[in-house]
Every structure is written in structure tokens, then in C-alpha cells.
Amino acid sequence: MSYVQKRIRVLDSYSQGLPSDIDYIDPSNIYLAVDNVTESWGEPKKIPFSSLLLASGHIEAGRVSGLGSRTVSVTFDEPFSGQPYGREPNVYRIVEQPDGTYRRQDVLWGFTDASQPSTTGFSLTIHDSESLTGVIIEYLYL
């Protein structure tokens, strides 16, 4: 068996599920690769994801569904001291494929202004071309 080694900057992005998801992985079991674009390191290094959680000590995560409006505002339970770190909200719906399997289908959306997320939350708008039926919004900030 052969292995293909890639530099971290060329890998696909990983999206952590929420604690209620079946594919959720405890942060103490996740390592983040650290690489240097100048290639002054002989190989990538790693840091535990949990060390980032300890540094901030604050996580805001959730799932919003059953939308009644195209504009959705989420207020964090506790404000961050600075710009929160995280991936963009995952906005999707589950759709059945022709072969009877299901997959996530991206929903067209945008933040309501360029300063999102703020230290206290975020607001987004679902595009007019999208139905609100079955739309799910997941987010994770630390």
C-alpha cells in the first residue's frame, strides 16, 4: 500500500459537526496541522484543537431550523472579547438524490453586512431564489 503525502495548504477543509451530530469528534481528539508557506520546515507540525478552546475558553455553537423569515439573527449567549474565530455558518437543506440517498445541498445566503460575525452574534439573509422549507443553519465560533 502506498501513501500520498500532501502539504496542509493543499488539503480539503474540515468542518466540525456540533455535539449533537453523529459525526461529532471530541476536540481533544482533533489535531490541527501547522505549515509554513516558505517551506523552511522539513514537514508540517501539529497542535491540539483543544488548546485553542482553552485559549479562548468560550464556544458559541448551534443549529437554527424552521425559519419563518429570510433574515436570521443569532445573538451569542456571551459576548466575545474580540472578533470570534470560526467557519462561516453552514446553510443547507437535506435533499433526496435520484438513487434514494440523501445529501446536504447548499443554500444561497449572505451576511447582512461586512462586519459579520460581531462579538455579540451575526445576521444573515437567505437569497430570494431559495425556499425556506427545510433550511438548516449551523454555526461554531470560539
Q: Give the pLDDT score at 47.
A: 78
Which residues share a beta bridge with 64? 137
**Nine-digit cell at 107?**
443554500
The total of structural domains in the chain comes to 2
| Whether residue 7 is found in the same domain as residue 42 | yes
Whether residues 94 and 105 fall in one domain: yes
Q: Tell me, what's the pLDDT at 5?
A: 76
| pTM (predicted TM-score) | 0.62
Judgement on whether residues 69 and 134 belong to the same structural domain of the protein: yes
* Whether residue 65 is found in the same domain as residue 53: no
CA gyration radius for the chain? 18
Residue 52: which domain range? 1-57
Model confidence pLDDT, tens digit, residues 109-140: 999 998 899 999 999 999 999 999 999 999 98
Residues 6+ apart with CB under 8 A from 99: none
The reply to whether 52 and 114 lie within a common domain is no
73 plus 113 within the same structural domain: yes
Residues 73 and 4 in one domain: no
pLDDT tens-digit readout, 76-114: 999 988 888 887 899 999 999 999 999 999 999 999 998
46 and 86 part of one domain: no
- Specify whether 103 is located in the same domain as 120: yes
